[in-house]
Structure 1
Amino acid sequence: MPSLPTPPSDRPAPKAIGAIAFILVTALLDVMSMGIIIPVLPQLIETLAGSNAAAGMWNGLFVALWAAMQFICSPVIGSLSDRFGRRPVILISVAGLTLDFVLMALAPNLWWLAIGRMLAGVTSSSFTSTFAYMADITPPEGRARGYGLIGAAFSGGFVAGPLLGGVLGEISLRAPFWAAAGLSGLAFLYGLFVLPESLSPEKRMEFLWKRANPFGALRLLRSHPELSSLAVVNFLLYFAHHLFSAVFVLYAGDRYGWGAWQVGTLLALVGLMDMGVQGALVGPVVKRLGDRTTMVIGLAFGAVGILAMGLAPTGWLFVAAMFPNALWGLAMPTIQSLMTQRVSESEQGQLQGANNSVGSIAGILSPVFFGAVYSMSVGARPMLPFIGSAFLIAAAVLAGAALLGWAAGRRDDAALLDKAGQAH
């Protein structure tokens, strides 16, 4: 009697479970090392600059430099991982980040610190290899869950890092940089001894600069018709998300009178909720509803939550709006999963490099846009009549992303079914 076919499972094999644990620990330590300097970097810049006005200019320059290096280097690092494997690229990047934190800890002037921020943009581009690694070791139906776990590790690092950095910053402005170097060094040693390679030699792709440069990497998104709309959805998600880095602190202080303590506590709460959604909720929801529906639900809840934040007349209502907004965390892992299913195994690094470049473009444009919107909505005679205008615009951006994602997902599913039919 013939045996029945085994249904596909979203659970990785036992060997892959160990690899997933390794990559999550490495990602957690890596992000903690970056988050730990967040509370003190602006103060160090101010100390070296000599004034608040100069510090504001330099801080904006550092953000732009970091994003620009991400845009340039992410596709290169992703393509290098497609050629030489994920493990060496991740290890070299983490080792470079360790040395970069030592350089910034010793920085005697702003130019030295600027070089450090540029190197940080280069070395942190290894996240492209982290996502490609997860695509290597998980089946397509389990990738959303895997990306959710990476997102939870990132959120955990961004919660623990700034808290630890705030404590160490009371001792010395340089202390968090030394601690960051120590954490990065620990991540390097951990990966050196326990992180296995995920991309077998026969699945590797030749390194070509025409694919590795950022514009060549973006061509990958256009060369696969199924990816184009999802890439736009991804850009809109990143664009809306940078609302918080651009205006949240100013908005919270101007509208609700919140100080640094309240803002820091809320950011930690956001990180914890994001950990819960991406680490525990993504897998079960995707298993029940599928990647596309889960993505659309996440974007829709994000739009509703940001709209409620912008309209909230009191701080408590703003906090309440954070809970539906937390389901926004369902969107990123599922977008990533849908995109990885539409390229070959040898193109996963290039895809992640292209995605990171898209995020970098949004990281350059979005803070400038939302900062300008916010500046036009405050003051004695604001051009925009409502202080929460930036939040309303971000909500509209996410709502548009949800509609586009729904339409793109339906077209992509039909295309995949057609390909399957042709294969048979």
Structure 2
Amino acid sequence: MRRADALSFLLFTVFLDMLGLGLIVPIVPALLTELTADPGRAVLWSGLLGTTFGLLQFGASPLLGRLADRYGRRPVLLLSLACLGVDWLAHALAGSPWTLLLFHAVAGACAGTGTVVNAYLADVTPPEGRARAYGLVGAAFGLGFVAGPTIGGLLGAVDVRLPFFAAAALSFANLAYGRLILPESRPGDRTTPLTARTTNPLGAIAALLRRPVLGRLAGARLCADLARMIQQATWAFFLTYRFAWTTTHVGLVIAASALAGALFQARAVGPIVRRLGEKRTAVAGGLLSVTVFAGTAFASTPWQLYVLLVVGVPASAGGAAAQSWISATAGAGEQGTVQGALSAIGAVAETVVPLAAGAAFGALLAYGKPGLIFVVAAACAATATLLLATTSTERPPIGA
């Protein structure tokens, strides 16, 4: 299989991963309400499912990354795809919320797609081409985000369980495709130790943070994730409050922003990084993010928000550049380990921030100052940018 074919498969995997998630997001509330016969209990179960998935992903991500270094990328990626397909099928067939909780927990423990895709790309892409490759990953993610909810809403109008069958079918089809054609990118190193210290999330994150360059880059990633999750958790509510937008209006704006970001990452990230370098691009993207978050906090008219959305499109180059920088800093034999620790860090943000940001937004709303939540996001993004700007571009020795 040629490198271009492998890249196509990985991008398709990311697209289907996000498409499958997007398919079911609009439908989960209806399914849980059907299973519990109580909207109040459905909300509680929805929160429990999300938290359980995040906690299991946090606990298992370093192990999956370590397994990818020891046994190869391919088996871990195929396991993740299989667990995801089983999870969606369980959603389609479940007769109780406890069934969903069990299978969703297993899927969280096997959620290694992002870890393995990032490590695989580092294996098969030369350093000078990684920013473009990670930009394409971001584009595939964005396109899946746009298409998923639309298709899910249409299928859910026919039957509430139909989107889950569709998501499961997509996952299993991709699993079969990968099983037949995807080669191993890097033979596993059986000398890679699997110990409690190297595979537990706290130990893996601590080991990463102790490293001078990777530790600062990981800290920047955490701060950027915090800012991103604050926005995701509160943005729709903020727009509804500040501008009285309908859900349709909010949805269209989100979809348009995601589509513009995907097209930009697909076409522009590579040339920008070649011209500016990874560090300058990452810092520039961070500064644009700070501008967008701070501006959103004080935007008083829709046109101001539209301008900020346009400014936010090129900010997406910063994430791809930072990911390329991280992969180039890590040694060739530890890409899975590093990406697994980063996935655990991301899982922390995705598990904790929605609850905390939602509570903070509610408190600020009571005082008529909901925009201040984006000041917090801007502070997180500014901290990430400062870490990036003050980090060395040191590379590991060749062969490390």
2:387 matches 1:404: yes
From 367, 372, 388, the counterpart of 2:371:
388
From 112, 117, 121, the counterpart of 2:104:
117
2:208 matches 1:225: no
The amino acid across from 1:253 in the alignment is: T
Residues 70, 189 of structure 2: 8 Å contact kept? no
The amino acid across from 1:82 in the alignment is: D
State the alpha-carbon separation in 1 of the partners of residues 175 and 395 from structure 2. Answer: 39
- Can you give the 5+ residue segments of structure 2 that lack an aligned partner in the other structure? none
- Which residue does 2:152 correspond to in 1? 165
State the alpha-carbon separation in 2 of the partners of residues 242 and 112 from structure 1. Answer: 28
- Which residue does 2:243 correspond to in 1? 256
Figure out how many residues of one structure are paired with residues of the other and give that number: 399
**Cα distance change of structure 1 residues 128 and 201 upon mapping to structure 2, 3 Å threshold:** closer
From 321, 329, 332, the counterpart of 2:319:
332
From 275, 281, 286, the counterpart of 1:294:
281
Give the CA deviation at 1:207: 3.4
**Cα distance change of structure 1 residues 108 and 201 upon mapping to structure 2, 3 Å threshold:** closer
The amino acid across from 2:370 in the alignment is: I
Residues 68, 360 of structure 1: 8 Å contact kept? yes
- Which residue does 1:237 correspond to in 2? 224
- 1:244-270 deviations in Å (ceiling 9; x for gaps): 332122212222222221222122112
Q: Look up the SS of the partner of 1:198 in the other structure.
A: coil
Q: Look up the SS of the partner of 2:158 in the other structure.
A: coil
Give the CA deviation at 1:298: 0.6
State the alpha-carbon separation in 1 of the partners of residues 169 and 117 from structure 2. Answer: 20
- 1:44-98 deviations in Å (ceiling 9; x for gaps): 2233233333233222222211111110111111111111111111112111211
State the alpha-carbon separation in 1 of the partners of residues 190 and 210 from structure 2. Answer: 20
- Which residue does 1:23 correspond to in 2? 10
Residues 204, 346 of structure 1: 8 Å contact kept? no
State the alpha-carbon separation in 2 of the partners of residues 202 and 313 from structure 1. Answer: 56
| 1:297-316 correspondence to structure 2 within 5 Å | 297-316=284-303
Larger Rg, first or second structure (1 or 2): 1
- 1:270-317 deviations in Å (ceiling 9; x for gaps): 221221232112101100000000001111111111222222212343
Q: Look up the SS of the partner of 1:199 in the other structure.
A: coil
**Cα distance change of structure 1 residues 314 and 242 upon mapping to structure 2, 3 Å threshold:** same
Give the CA deviation at 1:239: 0.3
State the alpha-carbon separation in 2 of the partners of residues 57 and 162 from structure 1. Answer: 22
Residues 153, 275 of structure 1: 8 Å contact kept? yes
State the alpha-carbon separation in 1 of the partners of residues 329 and 191 from structure 2. Answer: 17
Structure 1 stretch displaced more, 39-48 or 117-126 = 117-126
Q: Look up the SS of the partner of 2:218 in the other structure.
A: helix
Residues 69, 192 of structure 2: 8 Å contact kept? yes
| 1:204-215 correspondence to structure 2 within 5 Å | 205-215=192-202
State the alpha-carbon separation in 2 of the partners of residues 61 and 37 from structure 1. Answer: 16
**Cα distance change of structure 1 residues 244 and 223 upon mapping to structure 2, 3 Å threshold:** closer
- Which residue does 1:92 correspond to in 2? 79
The amino acid across from 2:72 in the alignment is: G
The amino acid across from 1:62 in the alignment is: L
- 1:182-209 deviations in Å (ceiling 9; x for gaps): 1101111221122111013469734334
2:192 matches 1:195: no
- Which residue does 2:169 correspond to in 1? 182
The amino acid across from 1:80 in the alignment is: L
Structure 1 stretch displaced more, 288-297 or 109-118 = 109-118
Q: Look up the SS of the partner of 1:377 in the other structure.
A: helix
Give the CA deviation at 1:223: 4.0
- 1:333-367 deviations in Å (ceiling 9; x for gaps): 22211112222111100111000011111122322
State the alpha-carbon separation in 1 of the partners of residues 108 and 54 from structure 2. Answer: 7
Residues 80, 107 of structure 2: 8 Å contact kept? no
Q: Look up the SS of the partner of 1:197 in the other structure.
A: coil
2:21 matches 1:34: yes
Residues 296, 402 of structure 1: 8 Å contact kept? yes
- Which residue does 1:107 correspond to in 2? 94
Q: Look up the SS of the partner of 1:378 in the other structure.
A: helix
The amino acid across from 1:388 in the alignment is: G
- Which residue does 2:138 correspond to in 1? 151
> What's the TM-score, normalizing by structure 1?
0.89
State the alpha-carbon separation in 1 of the partners of residues 98 and 263 from structure 2. Answer: 40
The amino acid across from 1:391 in the alignment is: F
Residues 159, 268 of structure 1: 8 Å contact kept? yes
Identity of aligned residues (%): 35
- 1:361-414 deviations in Å (ceiling 9; x for gaps): 1122322332122111213xx2xx522111122112212211221011xxx22x
**What's the C-alpha RMSD, in Å, of the aligned pairs?**
2.1
Structure 1 stretch displaced more, 215-224 or 150-159 = 215-224
- Which residue does 1:3 correspond to in 2? none
- Which residue does 2:347 correspond to in 1? 360
Residues 302, 327 of structure 1: 8 Å contact kept? no
The amino acid across from 2:139 in the alignment is: A
Structure 1 stretch displaced more, 244-253 or 289-298 = 244-253
State the alpha-carbon separation in 2 of the partners of residues 123 and 165 from structure 1. Answer: 24
